[in-house]
Amino acid sequence: MMDVGTILASLRAKALSDPEVYGRLMATRDDKEPLEAFCKCARGLGFELYEMDLLSAGEEMYAQMKRSVNGGGENSPMLDGEDDYYEQFFADLERENEKPRC
What local confidence, expressed as pLDDT, does residue 42 receive? 97
30 domain residue, yes or no:
yes
Residue 74 lies in a domain: yes
> In one letter, which amino acid is 52?
M
Identify whether 56 is part of a domain.
yes
10 lies in a domain? yes
Q: Whole-angstrom Cα distance, residue 40 to residue 31?
A: 12
DSSP class of residue 46 equals T
26-48 confidence digits (pLDDT tens) = 999 999 999 999 999 999 999 99
- Whether 79 is in a domain gets the answer yes
Cα–Cα distance, 100 to 102 (Å, whole number): 7
Residue 75 confidence (pLDDT): 52
Mean pLDDT of the chain: 81
Residue 47 is part of which domain span? 4-95
Residue 87 domain flag: yes
Domain count, the chain: 1
- pLDDT tens-digit readout, 66-87: 555 555 555 555 544 445 788 8
Spell out the residues 6+ positions from residue 31 whose beta carbon is closer than 8 angstroms to its own.
Answer: 37
Collapsed DSSP state (helix, strand, coil) of residue 79 = coil
In sequence order, which residues have a C-beta less than 8 Å from that of residue 40 and are 6 or more positions away?
Answer: 28
Rounded CA gap, 77 and 33, in Å? Answer: 30
In this structure, is residue 100 part of a structural domain? no
